[in-house]
Structure 1
């Protein structure tokens, strides 16, 4: 302690005891959710109009397409399901949420289907 003040301890607050927090319960436990991976036709997947990435590096896309051709798509893309009422019934399409580069590489590699989480 110095003559001028109360010391460094006056600037550092005392430790508080940890409190328990109750987290909200999920409607379904994570392991019980019915998320599945589907093989979707590449032509049925539409681009997201709100996607901020308009340009992709052509060279890195070619590298990714070569990898996709050799190993397949390792991580599924994420899409949302869109249904349209037509005179022939409901038409189902999909819109991209995540994985735009993987989809472009799959198209470049000539894959007819791509794994996707809906």
Structure 2
């Protein structure tokens, strides 16, 4: 995303990396590890990882170079944020045939999307 303020030379570029995801994880720790591996593989400010039917948020500080005139780059500390993006697939609902999540005894899903 590119943001430019009207009547100003100020601008900002926000890089994002998003994926549906793959594989599986049941525990929060395993889901967080999948998110962190994804965050380590791509350079971005915002990361989204779906597929795991949970809400988990994580921050990752890193150092980067900011381009300056005449090659005088500056080191800058930046913090990125990543999230397992949530789900709208409800498990364990009475009166409905058991879903694959129930048949495999997966934990109940968290419904919703990440907080800003």
TM-score by length of 1: 0.23
Q: RCO higher in 1 or 2 (8 Å CA, sep ≥ 6)?
A: 1
Higher helix fraction: Structure 1 or Structure 2?
1
TM-score by length of 2: 0.23
Higher strand fraction: Structure 1 or Structure 2?
2
| Structure whose alpha-carbon radius of gyration is higher | 1
